[in-house]
Amino acid sequence: MDNNAHSVYLLCYHLIMVIKYRRKVIDDDISERAKEIFGYIAPKYGIAIEEWKHSGVRASAW
């Protein structure tokens, strides 16, 4: 939860990365590295990664 002088709010995002032509270019190693990068950057912006899924074709974080 975040707030300012006139409101309290909670923003949730569902991010899906889709690869052109649905090629399987995000393998387990790339997914793990992307998760590390997101995990490093997220606290600087007050973002919490609640779940990370990788299905070979897409990776999502929310």
- Residue 49 belongs to what domain range? 13-61
**Mean per-residue pLDDT over the chain, rounded:** 78
Within a domain: 18: yes
Locus of tokens 């690869």:
19
Residue 37, in any domain of the structure:
yes
15 neighbors 24 (Cβ within 8 angstroms): no
Q: Is 6 inside a domain boundary? A: no
* Residue 23 forms part of a structural domain: yes
Residue 2 included in any domain: no
Does 34 map to a domain?
yes
The pTM assigned to this predicted structure is 0.63
Count of domains for the chain: 1
8: in domain: no
pLDDT at 56: 55
More confident residue, 24 or 9: 9
Q: Residue 24: in which H helix or E strand, if any?
A: none
